C-alpha cells in the first residue's frame, strides 16, 4: 500500500512540475511577445516624420512650388 501511495505521490509531483514548467514557458513567451509589441510601437512613433508626414507634405509642396515659380 505504501509503495503504491508513494508512486502515486511521485506521479502527481511529476505532473505538477510539468505543468509548472509549461506555465513558466507560456509566461516567458507572453513576455517576449509583449516586448516585441512595445519595440514595434516605439519604432513606429520614433521614425522620422511618422506623425507629421501628412501635415508636412502639403507645406513642403507649397514651399517648393513657390520657390520654383520665382526661378
Taking the whole predicted model, whether its pTM rises above 0.75 is answered as no
Q: What is the per-residue pLDDT across 4-27, written as a single tens digit (0 to 9) for each? A: 766 777 777 887 777 788 777 777
Residue with cell 509566461: 27
What is the structure's pLDDT at 1?
57
Distance CA 8, CA 14 (A): 10
Distance CA 58, CA 40 (A): 28
Q: What is the per-residue pLDDT across 36-66, written as a single tens digit (0 to 9) for each? A: 888 777 765 555 556 677 778 888 888 888 8
Amino acid at each position: 500500500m505504501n509503495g503504491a501511495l508513494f508512486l502515486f505521490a511521485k506521479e502527481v509531483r511529476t505532473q505538477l512540475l510539468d505543468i509548472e514548467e509549461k506555465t513558466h514557458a507560456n509566461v516567458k513567451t507572453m513576455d517576449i511577445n509583449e516586448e516585441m509589441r512595445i519595440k514595434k510601437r516605439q519604432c513606429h512613433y520614433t521614425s522620422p516624420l511618422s506623425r507629421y508626414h501628412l501635415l508636412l507634405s502639403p507645406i513642403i509642396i507649397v514651399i517648393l512650388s513657390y520657390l520654383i515659380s520665382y526661378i
